[in-house]
Structure 1
Amino acid sequence: MKSLFTIFLCCLSWQILAQTNPLVGTWMMESDTMKEIKILTPTHYSFVVLDAKNNKVAYTGYGTYSVQNGKYIENAEYGNFELDKSKKLEFDYKVEGDKFYQKGSVTLADGTINRINNSFTKVKLPAQNNPATGTWNQLTSSGVDAKGEKWSHTSATHIRYMTISPTHYIIIRQKDKQFEDVLAGSYRMEGDNFIPNWEFVSNPVTDDIKIKIIQRIQAGKLLWDGMMVDKEGTHTWHDVYEKVNGKPAKTASTK
């Protein structure tokens, strides 16, 4: 009963904040040359841009955001590219129905200016009853590889930023302060089973890979017990995440 009540509260909280902040949700943009997914929680954003021609990840990033004086402002905490930190990530924005428009520019560390003129459409898939919606950072991970060898690491060397909406997820992984990989896509819940659909991946994923993730929330921590079967054999792992809290961004529609 407690688990069902937790699920109800989490889903209700997301719905309420999505109603007061029209930016909250999963957004998608697609053209002949690129495809982008962007998740906005009440406090954080994360995104993945896929080069459609080569089917490779071009950009990915994560951070907090705010709305000030009618501008949408991103505070980048991580990305697989270097920014000119003297330039503010400030954009004109507009939300009309299921459309989110973002316009401005991003200046890279080498001085390159990328013009942004995005038109996103909100994804309308059935919402999953998932108490893990929100933003999470990984604390520890351990497991056994296909050869039977044990491994483990902590956030001191391996960092994983995970954002989960009621329909999608984005996981950005960093090793020794360098970009490692990114996984993103839709998912569905079957009881405690988190079943991912890989749509945006930096490393090749073949159709013969089988994966199973059992999800639990215990003492405020998100626990993932996973098993993957590929051509090398069976891999198992245990991940521990902590919730990243923050002050919900306010828009013109909030009080």
Structure 2
Amino acid sequence: MNARHYAHRFAGRRAVITGGAAGIGLAFAKRFVTEGGAVSLWDISQEALDRATSALGASASGVRVDVADWPQVEAAAETSAGHLGGGIDVLVASAGITGPNVPLAAYPVEQWRQVIDVNLNGLFHCNRAIVPYMLSGNYGRIVNVASVAGKEGNPNASAYSASKAAVIGLTKSLGKELAQSNITVNAITPAAVRTAIFDQMSQQHIDFMLSKIPMGRFGTVEEMAAVIAWLASEECSFTTAGVFDASGGRATY
């Protein structure tokens, strides 16, 4: 698929992208830079960050950060603001993990906590750390990456489904809080997109997800980046606390 790019849409804009060294985050970073912006990628893998920033060129920098750790996130926000010239205009929070695919009654307690720590607490940390920079600049666009599993609940994925449902709730709450501040807060709810996160899932679970998509295929990271690009743009000025599907027809509300 050939993406349609808008050469100057993000000219002068500065974005932090969590999970930015791979998958949906990296796909959006490529688009943001192509359309004139500068990015600071956050990821837990320094090796992946080095590859991504090298490929993106001078408009990209990287910060190794575990989003589940609040002091690291707070420090990363300050570092990124410095790299980006003192401010942050856009946050795309796409860092996440799936956890195991097992029934709830057998779900390992520590792995439950880990999924919630990364997918929910980590996303909260990132929003909390970056909102003050947006308030200071009187402008902001936040896009939180949830999942259709947060709407419908995938069996044998209780922690993931619960964490993504909570991301939807957080997004709606924060969007309403900031509705008069020139900062919009929205979420996307992708169906399954074939990325490295599939390595964390059982083949049975992957097959189940595909069976639920009316289009009969998985989404692509470029398709997700296209949805995010509008939500992260100045044109997204009267849309906040919203949830946008990119699910190949799966979502029923």
More strand per residue: 1 or 2? 1
Scaled to the shorter chain, the TM-score interval is: under 0.3
Instruction: Return the TM-score normalized by structure 2.
Output: 0.26
Relative contact order higher in (CA < 8 Å, ≥ 6 apart): 2
Q: Which has the larger radius of gyration?
A: 1
